[in-house]
Copies of this chain bind each other. A is one copy, B any other.
Amino acid sequence: MASAAALNVALIGCGFMGKAHSNAYAQVGHFFPHVRKIRRRVACCRGRAGLEALSRAWGWEGVETDWRRVVERPDVDLVDICAPNYLHAEMAAAAAGAGKIVLCEKPLANNVREAEAMVAATRSVPTFVWFNYRRIPAVELAARLLREGRLGRLYQYRAQYLQQWGPDPSRPNNWKMSRRTAGSGVNGDLNSHLIDTAMMLLGPIREVSATLESLLPEKPDPEAPGSTYSVDIDDAVLAQARFADGTLGSFEATRFATGFQNDNSFAVHGEKGMLEFHFEDMNHLTYAAVSGDPDLRGRRKVLPPARGPVDSPNFWKAGHPIGYEHTFIASLADFLDGLDSGRPARPTFEDGLAVQRVLHAIERSDRERRWVGTGL
């Protein structure tokens, strides 16, 4: 089971993802006791106050404010990058150069060029991208049903990621609002999740026809009342897509969907049935079959059980909802299993690069107002 030696982790980034990952490192051994032990060795970010708070709350042994020192520490085995997107490539290369395992938040990079460089730089070390929604039990059940061919030939795939905070005047001007630091807006932030889930479920996307939209190029600056700041990123994206298997897809990601906090959804229609998922109702999967008594067909809400290790499903019973954080815990458990088994858990940086290629084709399609191939 678990290797004797604990894995020494360094976390770079103290924001929302810093918390979510800290929690995963603290919890993975509780829910999946067979995995390799984790030692929360060092947390790192530039803001001293946030760093201290994160470290104290989540029990990191040490802190650093300079990420370059972190990636070189001999007592670190794994570097987990939760810094702004524009720093991913440089950090990953430095960490891999020092022989560290590298995990990285999504999207993998600001653009394809950087993502390719990251793949090249990390060939000799294990990698993982935190597309956490892959590990929702309902999404895993959907993946299994599709793998088993339970929907027969697929006709159409539809995915939407609806958030509403875009026009919120109280949102500060942070790194997510600039193309330089975030690479893009919703395309990288939200649509990357849709694309990753879609390709996990159906395979590569071959071609796209897309529209990006910037809805408020000037936003009120809550930190300087009366003034505004310029925004050069996309607020909404629409994409039509063709999967390599021929299935037709449509995607929409937006931060201007008033009324929706965080509705990451997909639906897939096949000759034998359909599946539908909404993150706002993450403990259910909707399923309908084209079989059985015709009078009794209908969309049903299935409550898939949360996942624990096969030999000892150390988890809440069916009917006890799990939350957002378990997507990170299960991702980490699978990554650690992959380390020990030699069968790397997906998504690796290669998978992250594939998503980046689709995001890039979407941007190019928007600029050129035509269908663009992804190269996948």
Minimal beta-carbon separation of A53 from chain B (angstroms): 7
The reply to whether B156 and A256 contact each other, CB–CB distance below 8 Å, is: yes
Minimal beta-carbon separation of A187 from chain B (angstroms): 14
A98 within 8 Å of B by Cβ?
no
Minimal beta-carbon separation of A304 from chain B (angstroms): 7
Which of A70-78, A86-94, A193-201, A266-274 sits within the interface?
A266-274
Minimal beta-carbon separation of A65 from chain B (angstroms): 20
Distance A254 CA – B269 CA, assembled complex (angstroms): 11
Selected from B269, B302, B324, the residue in CB contact (under 8 A) with A316 is B324
Residues of B within 8 A of A371 (CB): 369
Minimal beta-carbon separation of A190 from chain B (angstroms): 12
Minimal beta-carbon separation of A177 from chain B (angstroms): 17
Selected from B158, B236, B289, the residue in CB contact (under 8 A) with A248 is B236
A312 within 8 Å of B by Cβ?
yes
The reply to whether A324 and B324 contact each other, CB–CB distance below 8 Å, is: no
**Docked complex: A210-260 residues within 8 A CB-CB of B:** 211, 213, 215, 236, 238, 240, 248, 250, 252, 254, 256-260
A19 within 8 Å of B by Cβ?
yes
Distance A370 CA – B261 CA, assembled complex (angstroms): 33
**Docked complex: A273-312 residues within 8 A CB-CB of B:** 273-274, 276, 279-284, 286-290, 292, 295-304, 312
Distance A223 CA – B119 CA, assembled complex (angstroms): 53
Interface string of A179-211 (1 = CB under 8 A from B): 000000000000000000000000000000101
Residues of B within 8 A of A248 (CB): 211, 213, 236, 238
A317 within 8 Å of B by Cβ?
yes
The reply to whether A300 and B300 contact each other, CB–CB distance below 8 Å, is: yes
A348 within 8 Å of B by Cβ?
no
A319 within 8 Å of B by Cβ?
yes
Query: Residue on B with the closest CB to A284?
Result: B298
A22 within 8 Å of B by Cβ?
yes
The reply to whether A56 and B27 contact each other, CB–CB distance below 8 Å, is: no
Distance A133 CA – B45 CA, assembled complex (angstroms): 37
The reply to whether A211 and B209 contact each other, CB–CB distance below 8 Å, is: yes
The reply to whether B312 and A53 contact each other, CB–CB distance below 8 Å, is: yes
A163 within 8 Å of B by Cβ?
yes
Residues of B within 8 A of A240 (CB): 209, 211, 238, 240
A318 within 8 Å of B by Cβ?
yes
Interface size class of A (residues with CB under 8 A): 35 or more
Interface string of A50-64 (1 = CB under 8 A from B): 000100111100000
Query: Residue on B with the closest CB to A215?
Result: B155
The reply to whether B302 and A297 contact each other, CB–CB distance below 8 Å, is: yes
**Contact A258 to B282, CB < 8 A, known contacts A16-B317, A240-B211, A323-B323:** no
Minimal beta-carbon separation of A81 from chain B (angstroms): 20
A262 within 8 Å of B by Cβ?
yes
**Contact A314 to B369, CB < 8 A, known contacts A33-B57, A258-B290, A302-B296:** no
A26 within 8 Å of B by Cβ?
yes
The reply to whether B303 and A300 contact each other, CB–CB distance below 8 Å, is: no
Query: Residue on B with the closest CB to A145?
Result: B296
Residue among A166, A260, A300, A301 facing the most chain B CB atoms (10 A cut-off): A300
**Contact A321 to B319, CB < 8 A, known contacts A276-B259, A300-B288, A302-B298:** no
List 4 extra interface pairs beyond A258-B288, A262-B320, CB under 8 A: A33-B53, A250-B250, A256-B269, A261-B318
Could you show 12 A-B contacts with beta carbons less than 8 Å apart?
A20-B316, A26-B26, A30-B57, A156-B254, A211-B240, A211-B248, A240-B240, A260-B274, A281-B281, A282-B321, A295-B304, A296-B300
